[in-house]
Amino acid sequence: MSFFIRNNQGKKSLKRKISQNVPTQNGINNGVNSKKKSAKKTSKFDDNESIASSDEEFIEQNRREEDGNFSNASEDEHETAQEKRLRLAKKYLAEIEEEEKDKAEFEKSAVSRRLREEYLEEKGRLRKRIADNYTGHENIIELKCKDHKDSVTCICLSNDGENLYSGSKDGSLVKWSLVNKTKVNSICGKRKTPNGIKSVLCMAVSSDKKFLVVGDSGSKDIKVFNGNDLKHVKNLSGHRGAVTGLAFRRDTHILYSASEDRSVKVWNLDEMAYVESLFGHQSAITSIDALTRERAITSGGFDRSIRLWKIVEESQLIFNGHENSIDAVKFINEDTFLSCGDDGQLCVWSVMKKKPLCSVTRAHGTDETNGQAMWISSIATLLNTDLVASGSRDGKVRLWKCGDSFKSLTLLFEVEIVGFVNSMAFTQDGKNLVVGIGQEHKLGRWWRIPEAKNKIIVISLLQKNETNAAVRLQGYSYIHSG
């Protein structure tokens, strides 16, 4: 017998029990009431039907007092899956509406527009056309501190755009305030200590800044820190080589890691536990990236392949197009990504095609000393837009516009920078490009630029009609990749 049938019977027996001791409105006692009921021929439900409305309220109040928390529990248990989804959707809509009301430019269609935008973003069909608005750069702010004594190797930004994290070849970590352009906290390099960081190869921060994870060239472990105070939390062991790439799945604590041991591993940081391993690359993996979906992309270095790992389906897609080692890969949206390597190529890909949608050969020119293409050491993408950036050791950071259907790359402008561009990231509002610079390449010491400084710079990007920039960022178009 189901729970619902037993519960209804319990309610009926409870009402009958209370009705035997409840006086009527006219003050007639229970004995007289029972004699009248016995004189009449009624059905077995007549005792419930004869209760007056005021008596029903009294009975209901007594039932609640006797039942305690039972009614609250039963409401949740009686709620169907569809009713729960509807309730949560209404709650989410109310939260969005409250957020939109706080903005200066509130429109009646703001909620529906935002929901549509989030849906298209998840499906990989959202594209904001903003690249044409960028005309150059204004101020270049230097972030320097004594902690980074060697080349800056990697940087990452928090989701709220308030904090920047940077790592160096000397093993130091620094947390910055992007609002004030100042250092908040730091960890000095500890090469000589057994548990110290020899050299930072990669890093990533969770969406809520609860976890900051770091890959170290001197260790096979992933070092987990608290993203707020930089206190060490735990080391995650499992890789057989140095960890070269780290990426969180957005708005979760699911971590993807890539290593020189040619494997990708999945971790759950809520439990500080290993989940599974993914194999397929034939060479050391050089970078990894992930967005909202349960999948990640990796560049395989000298095996000259990019792989899209579908975690749920337990499958992978392989992309080939570079002529030599692939050093970095970055999502533009859920269905499109960017790659670069030491062959000097800058390529845009669709997850639906094995070959690049477009590629720019020798995107940073030719090295005059050996006649080879300039090694592109870093790339950055402004998520869900047509704006991307690339950096090398040629003294320039270049910003590019992706054409229609991502089938072309057009150079917008250049920013003069001295040194190796080892890492880059756009702020979410698209107003700044943060660049990590060093005297040496992040992976080795083949070249050295003595006049360069080991530092981080924040480039303020100039847009047409700067006062209306926030309005323009609201405009977007819908695309179908592939």
Residues 2-47 have pLDDT tens digits of: 333 344 444 444 444 444 444 444 443 444 344 344 444 444 444 4
Residue 307, pLDDT > 80, answer: yes
Average the pLDDT over 100-129 and give the result. 64
Listed residue (409, 287, 413, 390) closest to 344, CA to CA: 390
CB atoms within 10 A of CB 124: 24
Residue 89, pLDDT > 70, answer: yes
Which structure tokens are listed for 278? 């993914």
Burial class (CB in 10 A: 0-12, 13-18, 19+), 228: middle
**Cα distance between residue 264 and residue 297, in whole Å:** 10
Q: How confident is the model at residue 191 (pLDDT cuts 50, 70, 90)?
A: low
CB atoms within 10 A of CB 341: 26
Instruction: Find how far residue 440's CA is from the centre of its chain.
Output: 30
The DSSP code sequence of 40-65 is S---TTHHHHT--HHHHHHHHHHHHH
Residue 111, pLDDT > 80, answer: no
Q: Are 441 and 153 in contact (CB under 8 A)?
A: no
- Tokens 């093993």 belong to residue: 171
Please tell me the predicted confidence (pLDDT) of residue 90.
Answer: 83
Please tell me the predicted confidence (pLDDT) of residue 301.
Answer: 92
Q: Are 196 and 171 in contact (CB under 8 A)?
A: yes
Burial class (CB in 10 A: 0-12, 13-18, 19+), 259: buried
Please tell me the predicted confidence (pLDDT) of residue 11.
Answer: 43
**Cα distance between residue 417 and residue 422, in whole Å:** 12
Q: Phi and psi at residue 116, in whole multiples of 5°?
A: -65, -40
**Cα distance between residue 436 and residue 339, in whole Å:** 18
**Cα distance between residue 193 and residue 277, in whole Å:** 30
Q: How confident is the model at residue 107 (pLDDT cuts 50, 70, 90)?
A: low
Which range (23-32, 195-204, 395-404) has the least confidence?
23-32
Average the pLDDT over 300-315 and give the result. 94
**Cα distance between residue 475 and residue 20, in whole Å:** 69
Average the pLDDT over 376-395 and give the result. 94
Looking at per-residue pLDDT, the higher value among 100 and 410 belongs to 410
Please tell me the predicted confidence (pLDDT) of residue 333.
Answer: 92
Q: Please, what's the b/e burial string for 402-433 (b: 16 or more CB within 10 A of its CB; e: otherwise)?
A: beebbeebeebeebebebbbbbbbbbeebbbb
Please tell me the predicted confidence (pLDDT) of residue 166.
Answer: 96
**Close Cβ partners of 38 (under 8 Å, ≥ 6 residues apart):** none
Which structure tokens are listed for 239? 């890789």
Q: How confident is the model at residue 325 (pLDDT cuts 50, 70, 90)?
A: very high
Please tell me the predicted confidence (pLDDT) of residue 46.
Answer: 45
CA triple 326-332-333, angle to 5 deg = 130
Average the pLDDT over 430-450 and give the result. 91
Listed residue (301, 357, 328) closest to 422, CA to CA: 328
**Cα distance between residue 182 and residue 121, in whole Å:** 33
Please tell me the predicted confidence (pLDDT) of residue 98.
Answer: 74
Please tell me the predicted confidence (pLDDT) of residue 110.
Answer: 66
Q: Are 420 and 431 in contact (CB under 8 A)?
A: no
- Tokens 């037993």 belong to residue: 6
Residue 418, pLDDT > 50, answer: yes
Please tell me the predicted confidence (pLDDT) of residue 165.
Answer: 97
Looking at per-residue pLDDT, the higher value among 85 and 352 belongs to 352
- How many CA within 13 A on the CB side of residue 144? 8
Residue 420, pLDDT > 80, answer: yes
Please tell me the predicted confidence (pLDDT) of residue 304.
Answer: 93
Q: Are 233 and 211 in contact (CB under 8 A)?
A: yes
Please tell me the predicted confidence (pLDDT) of residue 2.
Answer: 36
Residues 49-80 have pLDDT tens digits of: 444 444 555 445 555 554 544 444 444 556 78
Q: How confident is the model at residue 139 (pLDDT cuts 50, 70, 90)?
A: confident
Residues 213-254 have pLDDT tens digits of: 999 998 899 999 999 999 999 999 999 999 999 999 999 999
> How large a percentage of the chain has pLDDT more than 90?
60
**Please, what is the average pLDDT of the chain?**
81
Average the pLDDT over 187-207 and give the result. 81
CB atoms within 10 A of CB 27: 6
Average the pLDDT over 431-442 and give the result. 94
Please tell me the predicted confidence (pLDDT) of residue 444.
Answer: 84
Please tell me the predicted confidence (pLDDT) of residue 475.
Answer: 39
Q: How confident is the model at residue 124 (pLDDT cuts 50, 70, 90)?
A: low
Q: Residue 357 gets which letter from DSSP?
A: S
